Structures are given as structure tokens and as C-alpha cells.
């Protein structure tokens, strides 16, 4: 027996009727279009296992199986010369077609979203097409002439692999039909199927096998081929039309279901109108209107029975910050959690309602004033438990203001007003606390409200000014930097220091305006120092609110750039306690600050609960020791603490400044422990910029 080994070039010498090749290409393109179209409708088509969808599984499986099988059948019918066909192989090829289509439907109905689905599809599709080619080819081969060229066979399989990759690209990745790449892929897929079959014929040397049928029969097969093409076209068109209709039916059914749900909802609304009229939809607590009505009734009862009441105004601390950083959905969830916690700690006869965005009001019958404090402390303690929102742990606190009936008022309006005054003081005194109303608080509240009204105009009318406190190099005793401290020259109250108005500015959202004004003034003074030939670095204290203000750093840089100030001459200060309080957000803020080229000094170190171990993870350049560490420079324990802090800071590459220096003994201790800088009244109090110029001898 002679071994037959045609080349690939010979394999591409068609010997298949062109008409049948064209028919096969059309069918292959139709198969590609049908598969990709079905994949686009995967979510709605395969999302349930209803009887109707099972019928769809069967229809799709049948159509796709016939598509791929008839492609080979057409090419087989168009082969010259014509041969007798072994029906067993044809039957097996049809079975493989159905199996491959079943695998396709299974992948798309159950496993499309799985990571291994694409690989499974490519492998199964390549093997299926290759085996169909093999079986239809073997149906033409006589066992007496069976010789195989494996190079050609694997070349045929490679083309099948390319076709499978194209199918994968446009089936699993939901590529658009309107992209020109889609039609190029369709053509390439069709060519891959037809050419791979032709090479497969050469691999088994079909064309060297003696023909059993004359060429005249070929023309008679054309009518059969046309019928096959028309049949495939009809079933594919019917499939796609049915699919489109099915989609519309699904949409109509969904619309009908939605309308039915809306109807049920409307029917249920009648019974829930009373609920909506009295209760807050977010928290389930009394809304403002219902609470005020219930409060009025409770107050009338208390007047008649001579009972005492505690009216508590409860407000979330920094709620706006949570809304801005985590989103309103997280803010809503926080309100729901707070509401549940409030209900969990209150007694059955206590009255509570949500009267504003993050404001709640509680009316609690009490026997004595201390009982009101017990209730309020119980609420404060409960609220300190961590809350997880959107994957972030939020340490949320509340502030409480309390008025008492009958001592602080005998009517609803006055009691609520006085509780609000007390709440304002709780906010101003650092939050996470409670205050009872008093005449003193009322007076203080009125005074701060007056300052609040004046503060905004103070910024625009140049009532603010900056004083500078010198920072001295302990080795050279020379002035090396300045700390900027803002002051307010009030028209009636005189000079006010930050502790009198910064909290008000933070509470009312003015602090950013104040900070931007201070930065601009510092820039002008830096330029004045540079013009005199005595450039000095100037630092300023940064509000805690700026940690959560995404605009703060860009706006600060914009001013520095506008004034043409080199960043090395400007620095921010943040207290240790502020950094630790905001330890979840502070590293992000400091990283942005560091990336921008700005430096940070940690102020008042030693007064808080943080540690050098935690601080070393932050991009800081300098520590300022809290003045409390040096109050008694002769105390051995204090000496050891100061020495250890300075030594560890130097090992971490940080410079150290000691604050509040007023005694020569303090200087002696600092020199012994090699402290870098010092500031305090011994070197100069905060002073106007003109005195700084004189101090420099200019």
C-alpha cells in the first residue's frame, strides 16, 4: 500500500463545487449569528427553569445542531468525485452536533459567569467541530484506502480552534453587532469551518479514492443543497423571530407583574396612610408633627399630676462628614442604627421622635434631676459602640442638651428652646457630652450666637489678623521659624483668641474661610521676609474638619502657587489628639499632603493617647512636645520621659520642638537631651509681624 501525503498547498486545491462552498459559507455565517444573538439574550432566556424555558432549551439545541451538521453535509455533497456515503458515520456526526449544541446551551444557561466557562467552551467547540469533520470525512473513505496525514489533520483542528476563539470573543464578551469587527469575525469563522473541512478531506486523502459515482450526479445534488440552505435559513429566522417575540412577551409580563405590584401597593397605601402621618419612614420613630402632639399631651398630663419631665435634644456629631465621605445611603443606615440603639436603652414610657435630619428629641418622665443624667449617660455610652458603614468602622458620638419641666419652662416651646441652648453648649465643648440648661448657658449661648453672626463679616471686613510666635534653634539661639496664630479684632469685644471663635467657625462651616484667609496672609508675610533677605518657615494650625475636606489641600496649594511661594517655607500643624481621633482618615489626608510637597508638624505630642509606633507610619517631619511634659524639669520621671521621646524621635528622623518654655531649667534639660528647637514666652510671646521684623534687626 502506498502512503499518500498531499501537501497543504494541494489540500487547498478545492475539488468541491463552488456553489456548495458558497452555500456552506452562508450556513456557517448564519450559525455564527445565531449563537452570538442567543448569547446576547442569555440573562432573560436562561434565568429560570420554567416549562417554557425547557422548550426553548430543546429548540435552540436542535437548531444549532442542524446548523453545524448541515455545513459539513453540504460540503460532502459538493465533493468531486462523488462517493458512496457510509450512513453510520453520518449518524454519529449528527449525534456529535447535538452533543456540542447541548454543551453550548448548558454553558450559557448555567455557567456563563464562571471563570472557566470560556475555556470549556473553546475546548468543547474545537473538539466538536473537528470530530464532525472527521466523521463526515470518514463516511466518504473506503477502509481499503485509509491513510492519514496528521500534519493536515492538526492543521484542520487549528482552524477549528481559531473559529472557536472567534465565537468565544463575540459570545462571552457581549461585543456589539454594529461593530465592523463583528462582520469580519463572522466571515473568518465561516472560512475557518469550510477550509478546515477541506483540509480534513486531504488529510485522509479522499480525492485519491476511486469514485463510485459519476460527476453527472453532482448537479442533481444542487437542488438538495438549495433545500438544505432554505431549510436552515427558515429555522434560524424563525428562531430569532421567536426569540425577539419571547423577549417582548417577557417584558410585557414583567410590566404586567409590575403593574400588579403597584396595584397591591396602592391598595396597601390606604392602610398605611396613618402610619406615614405619624412615623418617620426612615427610622420608624415618631415624626416631628406626631412627636410634638404627643409631647403636648404628655406635658398636659404632667401639669395635672405634678410630675417632672426631662426634655433631651439629641444630635449626631459630624453627621455631615459621614454623608460627604461615605454617601447618603451610609448616612441613612447610620440614622437607622442610631434609632434602634435609642429604642434599646429607653424605657417603655419614654417618648422619642426624629424632629430633623440628624436630630432627635426625647421626653422622659423623671423623679429627680440625677435620674435625667443617668438616662443621658446611658444613651451616650450606647452610642460609643463602633458602627460599620460601607466597610468602614465609624466611631459615632452624639451631643445632648437637657431642659427640665417645670424648672426650665412650663410650655412646649420654651422647654425645647432651652434644651436646644444646652445642646449648643455640648457641641461647643467638644461634643460627645451632655449639658443641662442654665441661665449661664443661655447667656453664653446668646453671646456665641452673636459672635456667629459677626464672624463671617469679620473675614470680609479685615477684622482678622495674624500674630507670630518665634521658634528658636537651641544650638545657635537663632530664630529659625514662626508659628502663625490667628486673632480677631472684634469692634465691641476687642481682641479674641482662637479658643473664643474657632469652635464657632467649625460648627457653622466658616473654618475653611478662616484657614484660607490665614494661608494667604502667611504667604504675603513670607514674601516680605524673603524681600528682606531673612526667609523663615511659617507653620499654621490646621482644623480637624480639614481632614475630611477633600478641597482643603487643592485650595491651599492654589493659594501658595498664586502667591509664588516655595512649599519649603510653609507647613501645617495638627495636634496629636486630633490625629488619633481621626486615625482612620488621617493617614489618607497626610499622604495627600505629603504627595503635594507640604510638610506636617505633630503638635502637642504627649497629651493624647497615640504612640510613636503609630505615628511612625505617618509622613510627618517634626514633633512639638506638649508643654505639660516640661512643667517640672527637675522631676526625674518627667526627665526620663522627655529624654526617651527626643531620642526615639531622632531615630525616626524627626526634629523635636519643645513648647511652653519659660524657665532656664527647661532650657538646660533640653540642651542635655539634644532637643532641636524651642518656643515659649522665654523667647517671645505671639507678636505682630512688624515686631518680628524688628526682632530680625531689619
- In tens, the pLDDT along 192-223 reads 877 877 777 777 666 655 544 444 444 555 55
608 pLDDT band, cuts 50/70/90, is low
519 pLDDT band, cuts 50/70/90, is very high
Helix (H, G, I), strand (E, B) or coil at 171: helix
467 pLDDT band, cuts 50/70/90, is very high
Q: Kindly report the CA angle at 80 between 78 and 86, in degrees rounded to 5?
A: 75
Does residue 544 carry a pLDDT above 50?
yes
Bridge partner residues of 16 (DSSP):
79
Q: How many CB atoms lie within 10 A of CB 558?
A: 13
Does residue 338 carry a pLDDT above 80?
yes
Bridge partner residues of 684 (DSSP):
none
Per-residue model confidence (pLDDT) at position 212: 41
Contacts made by residues 93-96, CB under 8 angstroms, sequence distance 24+: 93/69, 93/131, 93/132, 93/135, 93/136, 93/139, 94/65, 94/69, 96/128, 96/131, 96/132, 96/135
The answer to whether 646 and 656 are in contact (CB under 8 A) is yes
Mean pLDDT of 314-323: 79
Longest dimension (CA), the chain: 122
Mean pLDDT rounded to a whole number for the chain: 77
474 pLDDT band, cuts 50/70/90, is very high
Per-residue model confidence (pLDDT) at position 109: 65
Per-residue model confidence (pLDDT) at position 523: 94
Range of lowest pLDDT (150-154, 293-297, 369-373, 404-408): 150-154
The answer to whether 544 and 515 are in contact (CB under 8 A) is no
CA separation for the pair 440, 447 (Å, rounded): 11
Q: Which residue has the higher pLDDT, 684 or 49?
A: 684
Per-residue model confidence (pLDDT) at position 176: 53
Does residue 439 carry a pLDDT above 50?
yes
Does residue 354 carry a pLDDT above 80?
yes
The answer to whether 642 and 669 are in contact (CB under 8 A) is yes
Mean pLDDT of 632-651: 86
Residue with cell 426625647: 362
* Alpha helix stretches (DSSP H) within 78-215: 87-106, 117-138, 150-172, 180-203
CA separation for the pair 46, 39 (Å, rounded): 10
DSSP H or E run through 337: helix 328-345
Residue of 48, 47, 69, 32 whose CA lies nearest to 240: 32
CA separation for the pair 214, 22 (Å, rounded): 22
262 pLDDT band, cuts 50/70/90, is low
Per-residue model confidence (pLDDT) at position 320: 73
The answer to whether 630 and 602 are in contact (CB under 8 A) is no
Per-residue model confidence (pLDDT) at position 4: 41
Is 697 buried (19+), middle (13-18) or exposed (0-12) by CB count in 10 A?
exposed
Does residue 562 carry a pLDDT above 90?
yes
CA 575 to each of CA 441, 450, 497: distance values in angstroms, whole numbers, following the listed order? 28, 29, 18
1 pLDDT band, cuts 50/70/90, is very low
Helix (H, G, I), strand (E, B) or coil at 19: helix
Bridge partner residues of 400 (DSSP):
314, 434
CA separation for the pair 583, 626 (Å, rounded): 19
CA separation for the pair 264, 35 (Å, rounded): 40
Residue-wise pLDDT for 91-102, tens only, equals: 777 777 778 777
The answer to whether 195 and 11 are in contact (CB under 8 A) is no
Give the contacts of 304 (CB within 8 A, at least 6 positions apart): none
> What are the start-end ranges of the E strands in 287-357?
308-316, 351-354
Per-residue model confidence (pLDDT) at position 11: 44
Q: Which residue has the higher pLDDT, 342 or 501?
A: 342
CA separation for the pair 534, 693 (Å, rounded): 9
405 pLDDT band, cuts 50/70/90, is very high
Mean pLDDT of 495-521: 80
CA separation for the pair 288, 354 (Å, rounded): 6
Q: What does the block give as the cell for 288?
A: 416631628
Mean pLDDT of 332-341: 88
DSSP H or E run through 393: strand 392-394
Preceding amide of 493 cis, omega within 30: no
Mean pLDDT of 507-519: 82
Does residue 537 carry a pLDDT above 80?
yes
**Backbone torsions φ then ψ of 376, nearest 5 degrees:** -65, -40
Amino acid at each position: 500500500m502506498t502512503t499518500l501525503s498531499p501537501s497543504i498547498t494541494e489540500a487547498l486545491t478545492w475539488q468541491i463545487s463552488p456553489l456548495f462552498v458558497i452555500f456552506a459559507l452562508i450556513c456557517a455565517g448564519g450559525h455564527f449569528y445565531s449563537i452570538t444573538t442567543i448569547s446576547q439574550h442569555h440573562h432573560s432566556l436562561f434565568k429560570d427553569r420554567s416549562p417554557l424555558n425547557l422548550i426553548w432549551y430543546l429548540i435552540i439545541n436542535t437548531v444549532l445542531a442542524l446548523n453545524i451538521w448541515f455545513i459539513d453535509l453540504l460540503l460532502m455533497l459538493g465533493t468531486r468525485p462523488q462517493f458512496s456515503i457510509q450512513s453510520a458515520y453520518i449518524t454519529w456526526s449528527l449525534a456529535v452536533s447535538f452533543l456540542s449544541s447541548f454543551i453550548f446551551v448548558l454553558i450559557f444557561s448555567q455557567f456563563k459567569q464562571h471563570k472557566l466557562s470560556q475555556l470549556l467552551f473553546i475546548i468543547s467547540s474545537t473538539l466538536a467541530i473537528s470530530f464532525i469533520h472527521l466523521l463526515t470525512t470518514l463516511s466518504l473513505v473506503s477502509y481499503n484506502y485509509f491513510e492519514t496525514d496528521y500534519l493536515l489533520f492538526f492543521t484542520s483542528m487549528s482552524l477549528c480552534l481559531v473559529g472557536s476563539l472567534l465565537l468565544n470573543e463575540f459570545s462571552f464578551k457581549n461585543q456589539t453587532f454594529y461593530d465592523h469587527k463583528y462582520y469580519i469575525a463572522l466571515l473568518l469563522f465561516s472560512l475557518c469551518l469550510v477550509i478546515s473541512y477541506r483540509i480534513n478531506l486531504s488529510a485522509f486523502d479522499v480525492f485519491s479514492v476511486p469514485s463510485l459515482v459519476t460527476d453527472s450526479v453532482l448537479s442533481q445534488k444542487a437542488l438538495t443543497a438549495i433545500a438544505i440552505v432554505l431549510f436552515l435559513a427558515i429555522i434560524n429566522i424563525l428562531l430569532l423571530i421567536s426569540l425577539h417575540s419571547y423577549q417582548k412577551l417577557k417584558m410585557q409580563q414583567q410590566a404586567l407583574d409590575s403593574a400588579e405590584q403597584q396595584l397591591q401597593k396602592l391598595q396597601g397605601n390606604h392602610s398605611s396612610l396613618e402610619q406615614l402621618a405619624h412615623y418617620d419612614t426612615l427610622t420608624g420613630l415618631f415624626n416631628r408633627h406626631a412627636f410634638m402632639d404627643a409631647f403636648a399631651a404628655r406635658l398636659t398630663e404632667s401639669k395635672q399630676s405634678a410630675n417632672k419631665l426631662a426634655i433631651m435634644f439629641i444630635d449626631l456629631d459630624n453627621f455631615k462628614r459621614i454623608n460627604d465621605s461615605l454617601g447618603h445611603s451610609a448616612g441613612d443606615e447610620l440614622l437607622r442604627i442610631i434609632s434602634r440603639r435609642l429604642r434599646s436603652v429607653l424605657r417603655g414610657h419614654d417618648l422619642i421622635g426624629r424632629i430633623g435630619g440628624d436630630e432627635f428629641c426625647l421626653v422622659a418622665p423623671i423623679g429627680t434631676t440625677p435620674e435625667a443624667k443617668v438616662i443621658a449617660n446611658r444613651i451616650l455610652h450606647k452610642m460609643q459602640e463602633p458602627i460599620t458603614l460601607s466597610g468602614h468602622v465609624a466611631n459615632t458620638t452624639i451631643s445632648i442638651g437637657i431642659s427640665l419641666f417645670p424648672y426650665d419652662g412650663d410650655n412646649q416651646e420654651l422647654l425645647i428652646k432651652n434644651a436646644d441652648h444646652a445642646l449648643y453648649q455640648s457641641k461647643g465643648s467638644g461634643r460627645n457630652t451632655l449639658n443641662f440648661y442654665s441661665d449661664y448657658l443661655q447667656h453664653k449661648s446668646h453671646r456665641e450666637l452673636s459672635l456667629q453672626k459677626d464672624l463671617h463679616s469679620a473675614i470680609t471686613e479685615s477684622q482678622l489678623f495674624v500674630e507670630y510666635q518665634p521658634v528658636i534653634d537651641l544650638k545657635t539661639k537663632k530664630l529659625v521659624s514662626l508659628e502663625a496664630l490667628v486673632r480677631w479684632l472684634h469692634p465691641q469685644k476687642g481682641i479674641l483668641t482662637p479658643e473664643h471663635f474657632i469652635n464657632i467657625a467649625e460648627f457653622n462651616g466658616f473654618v475653611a474661610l478662616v484657614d484660607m484667609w490665614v494661608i494667604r496672609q502667611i504667604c504675603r508675610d513670607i514674601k516680605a521676609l524673603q524681600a528682606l533677605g531673612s526667609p523663615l518657615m511659617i507653620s499654621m494650625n490646621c482644623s480637624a474638619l480639614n481632614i475630611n475636606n477633600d478641597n482643603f489641600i487643592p485650595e491651599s496649594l492654589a493659594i501658595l502657587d498664586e502667591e509664588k511661594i516655595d512649599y519649603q517655607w510653609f507647613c501645617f500643624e495638627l495636634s496629636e489628639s486630633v490625629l488619633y481621633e481621626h486615625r482612620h482618615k488621617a493617614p489618607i489626608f497626610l499622604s495627600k499632603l505629603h504627595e503635594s510637597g507640604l510638610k506636617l508638624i505633630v503638635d502637642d505630642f504627649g497629651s493624647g493617647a497615640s504612640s510613636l509606633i503609630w505615628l511612625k507610619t505617618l509622613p510627618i517631619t517634626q514633633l512639638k512636645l506638649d508643654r505639660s511634659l516640661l512643667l517640672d524639669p527637675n522631676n526625674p520621671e518627667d526627665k526620663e520621659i522627655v529624654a526617651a521621646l527626643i531620642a526615639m524621635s531622632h531615630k525616626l528622623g524627626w526634629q523635636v520642638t519643645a513648647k511652653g518654655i519659660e524657665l532656664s531649667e527647661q532650657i538646660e534639660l533640653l540642651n542635655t537631651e539634644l532637643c532641636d528647637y524651642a518656643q515659649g514666652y522665654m523667647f517671645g510671646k505671639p507678636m505682630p509681624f512688624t515686631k518680628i521684623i524688628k526682632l530680625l534687626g531689619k
